[in-house]
Chains A and B, each alone.
Chain A
Amino acid sequence: MAKRDESSELLRELVAHLRQNRTQLREEWVVRISETRLLTAMTKEEIFAEATSVYDSYVEALETETFEALQAYARNLSERIIPRGVETHEVVGIVLLLRDVLARSLFAKYQTDFKKLNRILDAYEPAANRIANTVAVGFVQERERVIRQQQEAIRELSTPVLQVRERLLILPIIGVIDPQRARQLTEQLLRGIRTNRAKVVVIDITGVAAMDVTVANHLVQTVEASRLLGATVIVTGLSPEIAQTLVTIGVDLGKMNTVGDLQGGIEQAERLLGYKVMALAEPS
C-alpha cells in the first residue's frame, strides 16, 4: 500500500510538471510530429489542435489513472481522422513520440537526482504504455468497425433483385460469393419471387470470377427452391472457367437452364412468359 501511495505521489508530481510545461512540451511534440512526417493528411493547425486535446487527455489519464475518457477520445479522434486516410502507424507513432518527449523532459528535470528519476519513471512508464495501448486499440477497433460497416453496405448493394418485366426478375451477381452471401442471395431471391409474383428469374453470373463446389451446389439449390415457388430459373453468363470447374467437380447441372449471355437469357425468359419483342422500325 505504501508503495502504491508513493507511486501516486510521484504521478501527482509528474502531472504538475507536465501541466506547468504544457505549452513548451506540446510545441516540441508538434515539431517532432512534423519532423517525422506523420499525419501528412492533416494541416499544421489541425495537428496543433488535435495535439492539444491529446496532450490534455494524456495528462488527465495519468492523473486520474482511468482510461475511459481517453478511450472515448481516441475513438472520437479515429472516427474523424480515418476517413482522411490516417494510418495505424501514424497514430501509434504520435502517441509514442509524445511518450518520448515527456520522458526526455523528465530526464532533463531530474538529471541531478538519478534515484528520483528512476522512481518517477517507474510510475510514469506503465501508465504511459497503457495510454499508448489504449489509443492504438481504440484506433484499430474503430477502423475495424468502419470496415465491417462497409462490408455490410457492399453486401446490401451487391444483391439487387430487379424486376424488368411483369413477372420477370433478374438477379445480377457480381464479385466473390462466399457461403454467407450465397445464403443471403437465396433468401432475397425467394422473397423477391413471392413479393413480385415472378414466374421467371434470370440469374446472371457474368461478374463472378470463380465458383467452388459449395457455391455451385448452393446455386443448384436456389434453382430448385425457386421452382418450388413456381418460378423457372435461367442462369446466364457462365464463364468458360466456371463451366470447366463445374464439369470437373461434377456438379449436377441437369436441372439448370443455362443460356450464354444475359441478353439471350432475357429473350428466353420473354418467350417463356409469352412476350414477343420486335423493332417498330429500322433503326436510323
Chain B
Amino acid sequence: MEVPILKQGAVLIATFQAALSDADLNQLRSALVQQVVRFRSRGVIVDVTAMDVMDSFASRTLREIAHMIRLRGAETVIVGIQPEVAFAMVQLGLTLEGVATALDLEEGLAYLNQKFKTTK
C-alpha cells in the first residue's frame, strides 16, 4: 500500500495508514526525497500514529529518510509514535538518534514553524 504524501504550504505530510511492508517503506523514502526538492518544501512530517509495531527496518528507514531529507535541505519530524511502541523501540535499541520527534501532527507543525522562524 502506497503512503499518500500531502503538500501543505512549505511542508510535506506523509501519513501511514497501516503497517507497511519493506517495499512500501523504500517507495516512501524515494518519493519523499524526490518531492521535497520538486515542491521546494522546507519540512517533512512523517505521521506513524497508525503503526502499532515498529521493527528495525522501519526505524532504520525513518532515520535514513530524516538524514537524506536534511541533505536535500529540509527538516524532518516523526510524529505520533504510540507510548507502547516507543518503549518497545527503546528496548530494542531503536532510538531514532538525531531525528526530531513530536507528539502528533499539530506538535510537528508547530516544531517546524518554530524552526522556519529561527532560520529565516
Interface residues of A (CB under 8 A from B): 186-187, 190-191, 193-194, 197, 199, 221-222, 224-231
Contact = CB atoms under 8 A, between A and B. Distances in A.
The interface residues of chain A, by DSSP majority, are classed as: helix
A221 B101 contact: no
Given A228-B101, A229-B101, A231-B103, A190 B87 contact: yes
Given A197-B107, A224-B95, A230 B101 contact: yes
Interface residues of B, number: 19
B83 A197 contact: no
Contact of B95 (A190, A194, A197, A228): A228
Interface of B: 78-79, 81, 83-87, 89-91, 95-96, 101-103, 107-108, 111
B91 A221 contact: yes
Contacts of A229: 81, 83, 86, 101, 103
A218 to B, nearest CB: 9
Nearest to A223: B90
B103 A187 contact: no
The interface residues of chain B, by DSSP majority, are classed as: helix
Contacts of B78: 228
A187 B86 CA distance: 10
B83 A191 contact: yes
B107 A224 contact: no
Given A222-B90, A229-B86, 18 more contacts: A186-B87, A187-B87, A193-B83, A194-B103, A197-B107, A199-B107, A221-B87, A224-B90, A224-B95, A225-B83, A225-B87, A227-B101, A228-B78, A228-B86, A228-B101, A230-B103, A230-B107, A230-B111
Contacts of B81: 228-229
Contacts of A197: 103, 107
A52 to B, nearest CB: 56
Contacts of A226: 86
Given A193-B103, A197-B103, A197-B107, A228 B90 contact: yes
Nearest to A196: B103
Nearest to B54: A228
Contacts of B84: 190
A226 B102 CA distance: 10
Contacts of A199: 103, 107
Contacts of A193: 83, 103
16 contacts: A186-B87, A191-B83, A193-B83, A193-B103, A199-B103, A225-B86, A226-B86, A228-B81, A228-B86, A228-B89, A228-B101, A229-B81, A229-B83, A229-B103, A230-B101, A230-B103
A84 B79 CA distance: 55
B102 A230 contact: yes
A197 B102 CA distance: 10
